[in-house]
Amino acid sequence: MRPTVEFIAPDAGRDWVFHARSGDAFDFSWHAHDFYELTVIAAGRGRRFTGDSASPYGPGDVALFGPRLPHTYASARRDGPHLAYVAQFPGSLVDGLVGGAEFGALRSLLRASARGVTDAAPGQSWVRAARRLAGLDGARQTVGLFDLLVRLAESRSTVTLASAGSARPVAPARARALNAVVRYVDERFRQPVTRDGVAAEVSMSPSSVSRLVRDQLGTTLTGYVTSVRVAAAARALVDSDRSVAGIAHDCGFANLANFNRQFRRAQGMTPTDYRRAFTGTAGR
């Protein structure tokens, strides 16, 4: 079984690809390829899927995916703007360089990228660095790419994203089914979401839906729906002055106590403390 494969063809005269991806949304497209990929998010919010990991992203997010590691980004909203700077490069571009003793940290980063690597402290400095890279060309741009990689390698706040065995290939049919499940949850998470309802939407048995989500996202369907709801609530706490109870209801939680419990489990703090940390106000 093979993943949905993206074929990357560098332009004539160079060995790697750099481009800005922009639009009103980033659609879920579960795929893998034979290149390393470094992605910096400049605008937009949503969820980053890496192997069996699903986690939120926003401006300043940076991630490195190793070859053949299934991954994708899915926007939380379709109203834009969404912008990402993406560098895709083959192992041959770095193999000859990283053998030196001074590149030990970079070698470790490339090995860790088999599970996906991100900086747990995202920030605008990553965006500025990616924009500078976009303004270069030729050899200077390649040197700039190495500089960005070394910077990520030397960061003290990098974390791996997926579990050790998560780079399992996914057949095209399963990728399409996972795509449909994610879209369904994205569109319906504010309402009750049941396994039977998802199964009917994607033309699979309920047990097959459960296996698909568990194998590819590393969680249960209920756990995934909860993570989507918590992520939406976190954005609303920062972006609006609506009451905590109102946000909980709008994001699909049946009662405030369950919302507080699930939010604290995911974010490490209560919704009120989360809002205060970002805005300096406690809300209601």
- Band the pLDDT of 175: cuts 50, 70, 90: confident
Q: Which residues pair with 57 in a beta bridge?
A: 46
Inform me whether the pLDDT recorded for 280 exceeds 70. no
- Which range (21-30, 44-53, 165-174) has the least confidence? 165-174
Q: What pLDDT sits at residue 278?
A: 64
Q: By the 8 A CB rule, do 3 and 70 touch?
A: yes
Q: By the 8 A CB rule, do 76 and 228 touch?
A: no
Task: Give the DSSP H/E element, type plus range, for residue 77.
Answer: none
Residues contacting residue 32 through CB under 8 Å, at least 6 positions apart:
3, 4, 5, 6, 67, 68, 69, 70, 71, 169
Inform me whether the pLDDT recorded for 127 exceeds 50. yes
Q: Taking residues 170-190, what's their average pLDDT? A: 81
Q: Taking residues 140-148, what's their average pLDDT? A: 95
Q: Taking residues 108-134, what's their average pLDDT? A: 95
Could you check whether 17-160 and 172-279 share the same CATH topology?
A: no
Q: What pLDDT sits at residue 68?
A: 84
**3-state DSSP helix/strand/coil percent for the chain, to nearest 5?**
45, 20, 35
| One-letter-per-residue 3-state SS of 100-145 | CHHHHHHHHHHHHHHHCEEECCCCHHHHHHHHHHHCCCHHHHHHHH
17-160: what fold? Jelly Rolls (2.60.120)
Q: Which residues pair with 60 in a beta bridge?
A: none
Place of tokens 């041959």: 92
283 or 222: which leads in pLDDT: 222
Question: What are the domain boundaries of the chain?
Answer: 17-160, 172-279
Which among 51, 39, 2 is positioned nearest to 214, based on CA atoms?
51
172-279: what fold? Arc Repressor Mutant, subunit A (1.10.10)
Q: Show the tokens assigned to 201.
A: 């939407």
List the Cα angle 5/8/13 in 5-degree steps: 165
Q: Taking residues 172-181, what's their average pLDDT? A: 78
Inform me whether the pLDDT recorded for 2 exceeds 50. no
55 or 86: which leads in pLDDT: 86
Q: Taking residues 125-132, what's their average pLDDT? A: 96
Q: What pLDDT sits at residue 169?
A: 55
The pair phi, psi for residue 138, each rounded to 5°, is 60, -145
What digits encode the pLDDT tens for the residues 56-108? 899 999 999 999 888 999 887 777 789 999 999 999 998 878 878 888 999 99
Q: Taking residues 168-178, what's their average pLDDT? A: 70
Q: Taking residues 170-178, what's their average pLDDT? A: 73
